[in-house]
Structure 1
Amino acid sequence: MSKTPLHAIRDWTRSSYSTSSGGSCVEWSPSAATLGTVPVRVSKTPEGPTLTVAGGAWRSFVGAVRDSELAN
């Protein structure tokens, strides 16, 4: 399995919870997620650090957010 370097990822998707007013936004890369880990970053600092999360953990997190299982 080849690994895509994080700096080479071009298709970042912004969270639907993000607003255009410039608040903290989370982005993830769908194409890199096919490699088994999901890269996640803060859109305000795209040149900053990127967190990689195991695919199963990412799916669980997104499901909990979607189902409103996480408190504000």
Structure 2
Amino acid sequence: MTAEIKLRELMFYKGFDTIEKLHRKSGLSRKAISSILSGNKTGLRLETIIKLCSALDCKVEELIVIEKEKIKA
């Protein structure tokens, strides 16, 4: 299975055009947000997910998309 964090897309859709705006709304550090956006974060704490979803007014499944890999026959 693979997981993709859709933070960049949600920021755009919800009108957060800068990391600074999301930082102020979520309380997360600019560095943490930048790491997520750059793909350098391989795991997110539940607290971080809650803060992002709250700031972006979204559901977890909108932020994190999990896809099952297709089984090759």
Q: What TM bracket, shorter-length normalisation? A: under 0.3
- Which structure is richer in relative contact order (CA contacts within 8 A, separation 6 or more)? 2
More strand by share: 1
